[in-house]
């Protein structure tokens, strides 16, 4: 884990939004698509950058890959957890994303259940 790579990966608002959601739950690309209203290719591209920085890990289950924070890597730089905990709450998109994720889960949303959050 290279600190320069980590900091560069966090310099993009979309990736901060992904980190924000992964702090809440383990998610697959289709979950991110629905909650963040982004394309599969866009989500995958940002996830690849976060994986290269070793901020997230992916676990394949059936045909889906589920992503979560790489807690072991993040623990090497304790300021990251503090940054995520204190600063992500100040970003309006992050607050909205967490509310949408909660709603998505309440409606039974996951890779096997297509839940439409358009307009929320």
pLDDT value, residue 115: 78
Hey, what CATH topology would domain 3-104 get?
Arc Repressor Mutant, subunit A (1.10.10)
Q: Which of 87, 49, 51, 89 is nearest to 68 (CA)?
A: 51
Residue with tokens 């607050």: 95
Band of the pLDDT at 45, cuts 50, 70, 90? very high
Position 113 scores a pLDDT of: 75
> 86 pLDDT band (50/70/90 cuts)?
very high
Mean local confidence (pLDDT), 71-94:
93
Residue 55 to residues 10, 94, 113, 120: CA-CA distances in angstroms? 10, 18, 28, 29
Report the C-alpha dihedral over residues 116, 88, 57, 13, rounded to 10 degrees: 70
Q: Which pLDDT score, from 0 to 100, does residue 118 have?
A: 67
Tokens of 48: 């690849």
Q: How far is CA 51 from CA 1, 19, 57, in A?
A: 10, 11, 6
Residue 84 reports pLDDT greater than 70: yes
**Stretch 71-85: mean pLDDT:** 92
Give the residue-averaged pLDDT of 94-106.
95
Helical spans, DSSP H, in the chain: 3-9, 13-22, 29-36, 40-52, 71-75, 78-87, 92-106
> What are the structural domain ranges in the chain?
3-104
């Amino acid at each position: 884990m290279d600190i320069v790579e980590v900091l560069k990966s966090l310099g993009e608002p979309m990736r901060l939004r992904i980190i924000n959601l992964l702090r809440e739950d383990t998610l697959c690309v289709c979950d991110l698509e629905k909650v963040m209203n982004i394309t599969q290719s866009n989500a995958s591209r940002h996830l690849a950058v976060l994986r290269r920085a070793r901020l997230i890990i992916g676990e394949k289950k059936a045909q889906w890959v589920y992503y979560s924070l790489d807690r072991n890597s993040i623990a090497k730089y304790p300021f990251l957890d503090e940054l995520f905990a204190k600063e992500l709450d100040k970003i309006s998109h992050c607050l909205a994303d967490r509310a949408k994720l909660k709603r998505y889960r309440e409606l039974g949303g996951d890779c096997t259940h297509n839940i439409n959050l358009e307009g929320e």
